[in-house]
Amino acid sequence: MAKRDYYDILGIERNATADEIKKAYRKLAMEHHPDKNPGDKSAEERFKEASEAYEVLRDPQKRQRYDAYGHAGIKVQANPFDGMEFDLSDALRTFMSGGFGGFGDIFGMGGGRSQRDRKLRGADLQLKMALALEEIATGVVKKIRIKKQIKCNTCNATGAKSGSAPSTCPDCNGAGEIRNVSRSIFGQFVNITTCTRCNGSGEIVKDYCMDCRGDGRIRGDHEVEIEIPAGVATGNYLTIQGEGNVGPKGGPAGDVIVIIEEKEHEYFERNGNDIIYELPISFSQAALGDKVKVPTLNGSAEIDITPGIQSGKILRMRSKGLPHLRHHQRGDQLLRIRVWTPTKLTKDERAIFEQLQKSDNMRPPKSVKSVFEKLKGVFN
């Protein structure tokens, strides 16, 4: 599918300012964010598309290349996990790193900014989780150990050597931000920027903690339990809040985004919430009919093969498929009948087949022979 023009996607002019680009993206991203539109694939597509456009147009260099060469001039930064196209996780990362603050801010849930809020938030982590169809059928709780930056207990995340307390940043007097006031004929302008000396924390450390070198955090890991609901599919994701890297000097932790990947099954094929299973049967079963036990995702079930069934016929076993993610119905299991041809015959078996071969009943109505018979008058 041809990619849409990035400016069209964001609904902006080609000479839009950085601010207009940001505003347009923010509006679209909020409208189409997957958390606000659960299960809505088209909203998810719009969200991804807008995020990709924003990712390019917000970067002056990329924007220049895009303006000059179009999509060919842009290679979206490779996803560290699979190097694939710009996907949902990239879009979520764009959204979260978009300078809009956290989710709380963007959806209007954030309260007043306290000293703690101003501390830098730790990075989000993303991981892929491969699940078997059987696990998807029932839902599963997975325990995983996440390697991440954790709080340094030596200094209690202050970054200061024991015995030396962090002191108030002299540049901002502990405010964490610097106000520059300028005057003009139009009045007074106040420009507020984050204090670079203390990174907004309002505190500085003179004697560093040796374990974390003043960062307030160290490498570590943490085990979490992740409850995965039944019916998930590749590309679905779960956000585990507060399980990402902790922020420097006691800043709040980022999130962990778990992206679901479905493992290929040896026997079952998934089609939405239906499960397809190819059922091989013998010549005689096909001709005479039979009762057959077939495997399902949660055990087995019996199915009637009607006499005279054809290869390729699909039999439907209601509600033997996967549960839907958002309601309590299940998909079906579909059996694709395949008549299996024996490859070795004993002398006796061969004799029986040779006997059968003589019967007109054994010949398919659209056999090559019958086609030739019908076409005779046409070509000769």
Residue 181 φ then ψ, to 5°: -105, 125
Q: 32 or 249: whose CB is closer to Zn ion?
A: 249
Q: How far is the CB of 159 from Zn ion (least distance, A)?
A: 6
* Nearest distance in Å: CB 175, Zn ion: 7
Q: Which is closer to Zn ion, CB of 204 or CB of 305? A: 204
CB 259 within 8 A of CB 127: yes
What does the DSSP 8-state code read for residue 94?
H
Q: State the DSSP string of 123-182.
A: PPEEEEEEE-HHHHHH-EEEEEEEEEEEE-TTTTTS-BPTT---EE-TTTTTSSEEEEEE
Residue with smaller CB distance to Zn ion, 152 or 281: 152
Q: How far is the CB of 167 from Zn ion (least distance, A)?
A: 11
**Rounded distance between C-alpha atoms, residue 228 and residue 132, angstroms:** 12
Nearer CB in complex with Zn ion: 34/250: 250
Distances (CA, A) of 356 to 153, 310, 352: 84, 18, 6
Q: How far is the CB of 236 from Zn ion (least distance, A)?
A: 38
Q: Supply the minimum distance, in Å, between the C-beta of residue 246 and Zn ion.
A: 12
DSSP secondary-structure letter at 56?
H
Tokens of 7: 């400016």
Nearer to Zn ion, 251 or 321 (CB): 251
Q: Among 279, 254, 260, which residue's Cα sits nearest to residue 268?
A: 279
Task: State in angstroms the smallest separation of the CB of 260 from Zn ion.
Answer: 36
Interface contacts to Zn ion, rule CB under 5 A = 152, 154-155, 169, 171-172, 195, 197-198, 209, 211-212
For residues 155 and 240, which CB has a smaller minimum distance to Zn ion in the complex? 155
What tokens does 41 get?
């694939």
Opening angle at CA 325, ends 328 and 27, nearest 5: 130
Comparison of 175 and 303: residue with beta carbon closer to Zn ion: 175
Q: What are the Cα distances from residue 206, in Å, to 11, 195, 317, 362?
A: 50, 17, 71, 94
Closest distance of CB 209 from Zn ion, Å: 3
CA dist 235 → 16, 95, 110, 128, 257 (Å) = 33, 17, 29, 9, 11
One-letter amino acid for residue 258 of the chain: V
Of the two residues 56 and 195, which places its CB atom closer to Zn ion in the complex? 195
Residue 47: exposure state from Cβ atoms within 10 A (0-12, 13-18, ≥19): buried
The answer to whether 280 and 150 have CB atoms below 8 angstroms apart is no
Nearest approach in angstroms of CB 206 to Zn ion is 14
- In whole angstroms, the minimum distance from the beta carbon of 253 to Zn ion comes to 16
- Pick the closer one to Zn ion by CB: 65 or 161: 161
Question: How far from the centroid of its chain's Cα atoms is residue 213's Cα?
Answer: 36
Our CB check for Zn ion shows the closer of 176 and 331 to be 176
For residue 116, the minimal CB distance to Zn ion (Å) is 15
Residue with tokens 């842009």: 74
